[in-house]
Structure 1
Amino acid sequence: MFIANPPKLLLIAQSARMLVQLAVQAGYSAVVIDCFADQDTRQLALASIQVDSLALADLQPALAKLRAEHQCAYLIYGSGFEQHPLSLAYLEQHWRVLGNNAAVFTALQDKATFSRQLADLQIPHSPCRFSAPAGQNWLFKPRYGQGGVGIRRTDSAVDLPAEQGYWQRYLPGKPMSLSFIAAAGQFRPLGLNRQWCQSVAGEDFLFAGIANGGHLPDSQYRQLLNSLTRLLTIYPLQGLGSLDFIQMNRQCYVLEINPRIPASAQLYDPQIFNWHVQACLHGTLIELTANFTPKAYQIIYARQTVQIPHNLHWPAWTHDLPASGAIIGKGQPICSIIASGETTRQAQSRLRQQQKIIENLLNTGR
């Protein structure tokens, strides 16, 4: 049963636009804490506070202010807590969090243990090493990274600080993800997604976009679902999440689980936020249909430092909009775009057209 009178929510993320948009579409009102305070975030939220980071010292004054001014029954977190587990634990102590608890979230950031669990469960995966491996075709990944920031190609000749990250075998296949919703040891798949990255400002693996409508042969899909079923026996996931993997040589190689509402959530049914709340609040899952509108989402990064023109008229399909006059540094996100179509291929084609429009807008100011 869905909540009859949706309560006010507190939403916290590095960038909270997607969360607040999903919440408002589902009938909720929300107050927001994030690091960007984008135009559309502030327009959708009842109140919005910008913080320098999600570190506890930065969050506490904002939390105190919102607690004094708003009565929020529940809290939902999004991106950015990978480097701030103490903040997540604090939130859990003071609010009813609708999402994975801090223990599960932190456990999934323990790459060494997660890699061992994959091996013990005989789940195909990309091998990880925690000291410099011999040979080539390895990636060095930050221990608490997100969005592909800091990932670099490497080999054994490169001196990298092991305490700051780990090495994972590079697999030259198709990056994909499985969006799902979980509760009480079970899950429902929402759909398969194709992902892509971009090379900008010295970063070679920045997360750039995602499209729904991904496809796998039946045998590989069943294998993937079986892998997630086994992982749920160890990690009691709640709510929306995604399983990242590489499809290569007729096999799916698991990379990681994202234990929070993923970027792909905005590509599915508008009721998806209610499904998340129901799963977390009541521990129940609804039967999902396979129907969806083909959609694709992309982040537009600055290839050089740009200043946002004043009074710029952003098209309706743009999101995460910076303030007029804001200066966006090279390699930083400018905005995001979403396109739909009769097919996923058409949606991605429209994304490319939209990107050209945005580039022209930024160059001409109109």
Structure 2
Amino acid sequence: MNPLQKRCLILGASTRAAAQSALYAGYHPVCADLFADTDLCTIAERLPLQNYPDNLVEQATSISPISWMYTGALENSPEIIQAISKHHVLWGNNAEVVQAVRNPQKLYQVLKKHDLTALHLREFNHPPPANSRWMLKPKRSAGGREVTVWNREAESYYAESHNKDKLSTDYYFQQRAEGKNYSALYLASATQTVLIGLSAQLVGCHWLNADNFTWCGNVAPVLFSHQPEKHQKLAIQAEKAGNVIAKEFGLRGLFGIDFILETPFLPSSFPQLFPLEVNPRYVASVELFERAFDVSLLKWHIAACESFEQSQQEEFVTTENYSANFSAKAIQGKAILYANCTFTFPLTIERMPNCADIPSYGRLIQKNEPICTVFATGKTIESCQKDLQERSDEIYDALKIKE
């Protein structure tokens, strides 16, 4: 550890990406997560964790108070966020803000209040017709897991006596929109919210062994250079949604919104962005934008979350955080490889280039669990995704588990 570096605590299901962002911002990361991958252990100080997330509070409060932040899935445990924030200074949104913005009904009401596109909702005890036009989703969602189309098959499954209790207040119905999955990355300060950029989401990719609605990566930034009018209109929609949501819920720092870009019925119609949910934290696409723009977004996240003088606020909103001033060096992509069977992780993959989140040798990987992450660059989204698929195939071949 560099003695000049300040320590910061990072907690979540996976912390490797945020740890690298912390290093880039000049901090020494102290991490605890679900996977404890080998490359995380080489760049960060790791807290021992026997049971995620149950003993996160115990481990986090065992060290001296420092600044801390959380990554994916921990927004589903606001009680943990609240408990740890009593001991450490939080860089991010507190438990109260998280509970509000992650409430589907409250989000829907805010969107409708400001005349923004919004998908209709129904509570679990008022199911819609099982006609495949609705989605059944968990309120504590994580990466698209447990999301399903509400059709006759799903209705029959939950009608069975031993499954009836599964459909509870933990679930809700959301109107289904046909289209492509995108996410937007924002940075919210006390005075304004800036759209950093849009990314295309990889969802349910068969070449990554992902289930239908499982998130399995991003490609960023999305630039419709061949359709400037489309890019401008989509950016305006995304900017308005981000500004409204940040202001209404009091969001601070980096956060993301997942969207569906609806496929229009008529070729002449312009597609609409429909917000699906808000991720009020450091999101997976941050490291891609940092690579693309060669800028430390975590520095701006910290500045937005900490108390600072008005002069610094003015600098914050007039310099490199404007997405219009960003010039992407190349399209950046990441893909999460999932296991199609249970297997023991070998040593060979550690030598694979452009790979991260690498499990320890001999670790048992269960079917449908993430294996690792691959990265690629390209001049276009299509070429970047093609490179991701080729590199993923190489790793599956090396592991000898590709169907």
CA contact (8 A) 2:194 2:239 kept: no
The one-letter amino acid of 1:209's match is: G
Matched, 1:163 2:169: yes
Matched, 1:267 2:284: no
Find the partner of 2:256 among 224, 242, 249: 242
Find the partner of 1:139 among 135, 138, 158: 135
Q: Describe the shift of the 1:60–1:135 C-alpha distance in structure 2 as closer, same or farther (beyond 3 A).
A: closer
CA contact (8 A) 1:7 1:72 kept: no
Report the counterpart of residue 62 of structure 1 in structure 2. 59
Distance in 1 (alpha carbons) for counterparts of 2:202 and 2:350: 28
Q: How many residues align?
A: 354
Deviation, 1:310, is 3.4
CA contact (8 A) 1:81 1:88 kept: yes
Report the counterpart of residue 396 of structure 2 in structure 1. 359
Alignment of 1:93-112 (within 5 A): 93-112=86-105
Distance in 2 (alpha carbons) for counterparts of 1:340 and 1:231: 32
Find the partner of 2:69 among 56, 67, 76: 76
CA contact (8 A) 2:210 2:216 kept: no
The one-letter amino acid of 1:42's match is: C
Deviation, 1:346, is 2.1
- The alignment's C-alpha RMSD in Å is 2.1
Report the counterpart of residue 302 of structure 2 in structure 1. 277
Report the counterpart of residue 154 of structure 1 in structure 2. 150
Deviation, 1:51, is 3.8
Q: Describe the shift of the 1:64–1:103 C-alpha distance in structure 2 as closer, same or farther (beyond 3 A).
A: closer
Report the counterpart of residue 206 of structure 1 in structure 2. 214
SS at match of 1:40: helix
Structure with greater strand share of residues: 1
Q: Describe the shift of the 1:315–1:169 C-alpha distance in structure 2 as closer, same or farther (beyond 3 A).
A: same
Find the partner of 2:190 among 184, 189, 212: 184
With normalisation by structure 2, the TM-score equals 0.82
Between stretches 24-33 and 355-364, larger displacement belongs to 355-364
- Alignment gaps of 5+ in structure 2: 159-163, 225-229, 265-270
Between stretches 254-263 and 42-51, larger displacement belongs to 42-51
% identity of equivalent residues? 25
Matched, 1:33 2:47: no
Report the counterpart of residue 52 of structure 1 in structure 2. 51
SS at match of 1:49: coil
SS at match of 1:134: coil
- Alignment gaps of 5+ in structure 1: none
SS at match of 1:133: coil
Q: Describe the shift of the 1:64–1:232 C-alpha distance in structure 2 as closer, same or farther (beyond 3 A).
A: closer
CA contact (8 A) 1:185 1:233 kept: no
Find the partner of 1:124 among 102, 117, 122: 117
Deviation, 1:83, is 3.1
Alignment of 1:86-97 (within 5 A): 86-97=79-90
Between stretches 331-340 and 19-28, larger displacement belongs to 19-28
With normalisation by structure 1, the TM-score equals 0.90
